[in-house]
Amino acid sequence: MSEPLDNLCGPGKQLQAEATDAQELAGLVRSGMARLNDARNTSLALESRFDLAYNAAHSLSLAALRRLGYRASNRYIVFQVLPHTLGLGPEVWRVLDKCHNMRNRGEYEGLLDVDERLVADLIVATQAVGEALPA
């Protein structure tokens, strides 16, 4: 357990302590890596590539959190705690933060305005999360 993560744990807080499940962890990593691989397919629509890369980033970031014995109460927290789960810096989580906000605008307001650069940056950030996960 991690002290910064423990501070986010408890009733009404963003994390709950929950034992790690090896099967769940393996499934999250497998799904995340498959989606990341598919996001690199330039024959797909840019919006599809964004969705695949974003969901890969979420799956891998959630795996990092679950590996340490925590469950998130919302999607966003898995990106916020990357410095504590995988030691990743702002060059990764800032991209994921921007993409999370973009994803929400697309899901809830129908305003998904992505470009090649954003998708490329998202793929690089997601790859960094995948590479930081212990084997």
| pLDDT value for 1 | 52
State residue 9's pLDDT score: 93
- Enumerate the H helices of 40-89 as residue ranges: 46-67, 77-80, 82-85
Q: What's the rounded Cα separation, in Å, for the pair 135 and 29?
A: 10
Report residue 9: phi and psi, to 5°: -100, 140
Q: Which residue has the higher pLDDT, 2 or 32?
A: 32
Instruction: List the beta bridge partners of residue 15.
Output: 9, 72
Q: Are 72 and 14 in contact (CB under 8 A)?
A: yes
Mean pLDDT of the chain: 95
**Mean of pLDDT values over 29-41:** 98
- Residue range(s) defining the domain that contains residue 59: 3-132
**AA letter at 51:** D
pLDDT at residue 32 in the model: 98
Name residues whose C-beta falls within 8 Å of residue 100's C-beta, 6 or more positions apart in sequence.
54, 75, 76, 79
- Residue 38's pLDDT band (boundaries 50, 70, 90)? very high
Question: Can you give the pTM of this predicted structure?
Answer: 0.94
Tokens read off for 30: 């497998």
Distance CA 106, CA 103 (A): 5
Please name the residue that has the structure tokens 């998130």: 72
The percentage of the chain sitting over the pLDDT mark of 70, rounded to a whole number, equals: 99
* Average pLDDT score over residue span 21-46: 97
Q: Is pLDDT at 135 greater than 90 in this prediction?
A: no
Cβ atoms < 10 Å from Cβ of 116:
10
Number of domains observed in the structure of the chain: 1
Q: Residue 116 belongs to a domain with what CATH number? A: 1.20.120.330
Taking residues 108-133, report their average pLDDT: 95
- 8 has pLDDT over 90: yes
